[in-house]
Structure 1
Amino acid sequence: MRHALRQFHYLTVAAQVGSLRRTAEICQVDQSNVTRALKRLEDNLGISLFYRERSGVRLTPAGQQFLAEISPALEQLEFARRSARSARRADSGLLRIGILTSLAGGFLRKLVQNFTVRHPRVTIDVRDGGRREHLAAVQTRQLDIAIITGTAEIPGCETRELGHERVYVAMPDAHPLAAKAKLVWSDLKGERFIVSKSEPGPEVHDYIVRRSADYSTYPDVEVKAAQQETLMNLVSLGQGITLVASAWTAIKVPGLVLRPLTARADIVPFSIIWSSTNDNPALLRFLHTAQLTRSHTVEAATLCGSDLID
């Protein structure tokens, strides 16, 4: 078992760095050990995992498929190892959280901040990704928690609504609508939207189409092969407008302004979802902190008129 794990570790590192020499340096072993271990693994499997070239190594199609199939199991094993090591302390552990939005501001930042203050010895592993990806990871226990917009009914999982946040329109500061303090959806008729190809772009795209249909219009939406940060800079450069969660109000992008949509339909719920069979103590502590943070934030929103709405 130990030899197999070592082989899998060398395989993963070599696939990432593309060099057996560099793999040996990272793993702090002789290169000959790496070479022999990988050759033995290939012999046992009956396939070639790597193309070996002068410039380094790269996975064969069979190697790519094999690594993709074993990676979730290796990740789960690493999680079990780290959890076992931290189990000797009741106030420590590891919590894996999947998110769709920025941690720069808003309720999610407050929640994570409150949790780290209350449980400083718990390591938080925050992962960006898409809704489907995160929900599947929660079901297979590769994530402890996913925080998503809307709600979801997933077999074997529990969901708790944390609150609601307002949708904002991001636009260049020279845009005519930037002169308005607030917007309604009809103000956006005829505007050109841009969204990212990666998450949360597809979800934003669906939301734009759905809200435009309420006004019997079909929107002009262009999908960009850019991450969210790059997309926001494209907006500031006049390439189009887009929609974002209120967390983006905490991020300053030169030439970019955000204006809230005031309709009740543009206040969206966000929820936390976890596997009902997940007995990670850190998960239970996080759920408790989420409830406390929600109560305090709703109280502050009531007093101060915040964008978080109960």
Structure 2
Amino acid sequence: MDTDLLTSFLETAQRLHFGHAAERLGLTQPALSHQIRRLEQQVGVTLFTRTSRQVRLTAAGEVFVTEARRVLADLERAVTHCRSVAAGGAGQLRIGSIGAALNSVTPKLVRGLLDALPGLAVRVTQLDTPVQLVALRANEIDLAVVRAAGPASGIVLADLFCEPMVLALPARHRLAAKSVLSAADLRDERFVLWPRTTSPLFHDQVMDYCARAGFVPRTAMEGADIETQLGLVSAGIGVSPQPASFADLGRKGVTFRPLHEAPHSTVQLAWLQASPPPHLAVALSAARAAGVREP
């Protein structure tokens, strides 16, 4: 199948307008329509429904969007890898990582990979755990550094390290005078939290930790990233339970305190069982050197 047909299909699927898509592709509208008809004939299904007023994807067309993106991504990766090897390199490895791990294990993992494979091109992207699992299945990343991912069909998980929950609070907060805090200390506080969609298990751990002390935390705000949340804490908006590795960020106006009987969460390495990433053995060796337990 001609990859130009897939590119034209994806552009049309994004814009749902043959004229606009043709302009973006540098084609005439009749030429684009001809390409889409050729593609539909090759696939054997109708991908778009067209009227004089609108263009829509069929149910089959919506499915084919995902598959076409995957095919083009696989091809791009194969070409990049082959060119790198031909030039004396070791190919490319795409790594996703949660933000907390970028302050701890992920740089050590990358350093170990580059020490063992100097010609390896490594690309690291910060992504939340649920997004990384989707990206693995879509072949958008090869290896994922995630937090507390539950068992998932077709995905292999290897524990890297376990860390406790701590509390970020304004540096001049009255609780900052205590060396260790309990859940009961937080009863009257307002919380700055991760959205549950971003980190489901960690969010639930916060809720359970407070529930054991007999209260439901009052949410002042949610923040989509750690920089936003610590900024809100620094401004006195609330206190914020966080994985301990974020304490290394040293945000001005924010202090961190350990929590008594705090829950722990595990940072993991993940990859597709059916499609192991390039240089997996080297990656696991580098991970072991950073403290990983092999699966």
Residue by residue over 1:38-80, the C-alpha shift from the partner in whole angstroms, topping out at 9 and shown as x without a partner, is: 4434444567799xxxxxxxx9653994645532332233223
Corresponding residue number in structure 1 for 2:172: 174
Q: Is the 8 A contact 2:159 2:268 kept in 1?
A: yes
- Please state how far the C-alpha of 1:208 moved relative to its aligned partner: 0.9
Structure 2 SS opposite 1:244:
strand
- Please state how far the C-alpha of 1:11 moved relative to its aligned partner: 6.0
**Residue segments in structure 2 that go unaligned for 5+ positions in a row:** 41-45
Query: For the residues of structure 1 that align with 2:231 and 2:211, how far apart are their CA atoms?
Result: 28
Q: Is the 8 A contact 1:205 1:221 kept in 2?
A: no
Corresponding residue number in structure 2 for 1:113: 111
- For 1:171, give the aligned amino acid: L
- Please state how far the C-alpha of 1:176 moved relative to its aligned partner: 1.6
- For 1:108, give the aligned amino acid: T
- For 1:268, give the aligned amino acid: S
- For 2:79, give the aligned amino acid: R
Query: For the residues of structure 2 that align with 1:99 and 1:61, how far apart are their CA atoms?
Result: 35
Q: How does 1:250-261 map to 2 (within 5 A)?
A: 250-261=248-259
Structure 1 SS opposite 2:121:
strand
The answer on 1:40 being equivalent to 2:34 is: yes
Query: For the residues of structure 2 that align with 1:293 and 1:40, how far apart are their CA atoms?
Result: 54
Corresponding residue number in structure 1 for 2:98: 100
Query: For the residues of structure 2 that align with 1:81 and 1:236, how far apart are their CA atoms?
Result: 47
Percent of aligned pairs sharing the same letter: 23
Query: For the residues of structure 1 that align with 2:106 and 2:181, how far apart are their CA atoms?
Result: 25
- Please state how far the C-alpha of 1:12 moved relative to its aligned partner: 5.3
Aligned pair in 2 of structure 1 residues 82, 156: CA closer, same or farther (>3 Å)? same
Query: For the residues of structure 1 that align with 2:137 and 2:9, how far apart are their CA atoms?
Result: 27
TM-score of the superposition, structure 1-length normalised? Answer: 0.71
Q: Is the 8 A contact 1:111 1:289 kept in 2?
A: yes
**Residue segments in structure 1 that go unaligned for 5+ positions in a row:** 25-30, 51-58, 299-310
Q: How does 1:1-310 map to 2 (within 5 A)?
A: 1-2=1-2, 5-9=3-7, 15=14, 23=24, 31-32=26-27, 38-44=32-38, 45=40, 62=57, 65=62, 67-68=65-66, 70-88=68-86, 92-102=90-100, 104-139=102-137, 141-150=139-148, 152-197=150-195, 200-222=198-220, 224=222, 226-263=224-261, 265-294=262-291
- Please state how far the C-alpha of 1:225 moved relative to its aligned partner: 6.4
- Please state how far the C-alpha of 1:135 moved relative to its aligned partner: 3.0
Query: For the residues of structure 2 that align with 1:110 and 1:224, how far apart are their CA atoms?
Result: 30
Q: Is the 8 A contact 1:122 1:282 kept in 2?
A: no
> What's the C-alpha RMSD, in Å, of the aligned pairs?
3.8
Query: For the residues of structure 2 that align with 1:198 and 1:22, how far apart are their CA atoms?
Result: 41
Aligned pair in 2 of structure 1 residues 243, 117: CA closer, same or farther (>3 Å)? farther
Query: For the residues of structure 1 that align with 2:23 and 2:35, how far apart are their CA atoms?
Result: 19
Query: For the residues of structure 2 that align with 1:119 and 1:49, how far apart are their CA atoms?
Result: 50
Query: Aligned pairs, how many?
Result: 280
Query: For the residues of structure 2 that align with 1:10 and 1:232, how far apart are their CA atoms?
Result: 44
Residue by residue over 1:5-62, the C-alpha shift from the partner in whole angstroms, topping out at 9 and shown as x without a partner, is: 224435657859x9779956xxxxxx347x6654434444567799xxxxxxxx9653
- For 1:289, give the aligned amino acid: A
Residue by residue over 1:131-153, the C-alpha shift from the partner in whole angstroms, topping out at 9 and shown as x without a partner, is: 33433443564432222223533
Query: For the residues of structure 1 that align with 2:73 and 2:7, how far apart are their CA atoms?
Result: 11
Residue by residue over 1:199-247, the C-alpha shift from the partner in whole angstroms, topping out at 9 and shown as x without a partner, is: 6354432121121222232222355364442232222222222222233
Aligned pair in 2 of structure 1 residues 184, 118: CA closer, same or farther (>3 Å)? farther
